[in-house]
Amino acid sequence: MDYTPSLTAVRDNVAAGNALLGHSRVVVCSGSRLALTLFIAALQPGPEIVGAVTTQEEGLQKLAEKQADVLICTDRLEQGNGGSLVAQAKALPKPPATLMVVTQPRRLMAIHQALQENCDGLCLESNLGFGSVLAAIRSMQTGGLYLDRNLSKSYFEAFTDGPGHPLAQLTPREVEILQLMAAGAENQGIGRSLHLSVETVKDHVRHIFHKLNTKSRIQAAVQGIRLGLVEWPDPR
């Protein structure tokens, strides 16, 4: 796709967003170092960047240490995840406004977690520069919530079946276990990672099979990935 005709609009949107942020103190956190560099470049000149980090722990440390006004993060981090960072940020004595960039529209659990933790704005990575971040900043400044329309469509379609839909059925613990199963972990390894007994893990696995209507770990992992309940296993 040729984005050349859109360059002027992208520049105008970036400039308008920076003007709205004014002299805000911003922490940027992303698991992609390329994305981190691009965020930093796009925010100049404009707000004061007081932290640029790649992990959840570092992000929280910078937010608290610098008393930042705004957190801009991606859902994927080198360690931890954006949704959990948003939750920790909102628990600070001086919580910042939070904007999370979602890398894929079907990352339903990332969207769900961010909304549950009162994230102020969620934008889709592929829409950056085309007005979504600008709209999110405007909404954040008036105390509103911004959800990119493409993310909104994916998210609410997932709940059209009501409480019977797997996304609504699985507990956060079951999603954690399903993610580890998708990465190839056995029950003992899952137990060590989550500090659970093997019998407790087996109980959770049985519940997951029942809720996803599957009969094996591979079927459950594939179904979880297809539904957006878990991510593709990280090859690192």
22 and 118 share one domain: yes
CATH number at residue 89: 3.40.50.2300
For the chain, 236 residues long, give each residue's pLDDT as a single digit of tens. Answer: 777 877 788 788 778 887 888 889 999 999 999 989 988 888 888 889 999 999 999 999 999 999 999 999 998 899 988 888 999 999 999 999 888 888 776 677 777 777 777 788 888 887 777 777 888 888 777 676 777 777 766 666 655 444 455 555 778 788 888 888 877 788 999 999 899 999 999 999 999 998 888 888 878 877 776 666 665 544 44
pLDDT of residue 236: 42
Judge if 126 and 180 occupy the same domain. Answer: no
Pair 88, 199 in one domain = no
- Residue reference for tokens 């990352």: 107
The SS3 assignment for 124 reads strand
Q: Would 8 be classed as within a structural domain?
A: yes
Q: Which of 114, 140, 157 is the last residue of a domain?
A: 157
pLDDT digits (tens, 9 = 90+) for 152-190: 666 666 554 444 555 557 787 888 888 888 777 889 999
Does 14 share its domain with 102?
yes
Q: Are residues 17 and 88 in the same domain?
A: yes
Whether 9 maps to a domain, the answer reads yes
Q: What is the pTM of this model?
A: 0.67
Contacts of 121 (CB under 8 A, 6+ apart): 97, 98, 99, 100, 133, 136, 137, 139, 140, 145, 146, 147
Q: What is the pLDDT of residue 152?
A: 64
**pLDDT (0 to 100) of residue 88:** 93
Question: Domain range spanning residue 112?
Answer: 4-157
For residue 234, is it within any domain? Answer: no
Q: What pLDDT shows up at residue 93?
A: 92
21: Cβ–Cβ under 8 A, 6 or more apart, which residues? 43, 46, 47, 70, 137
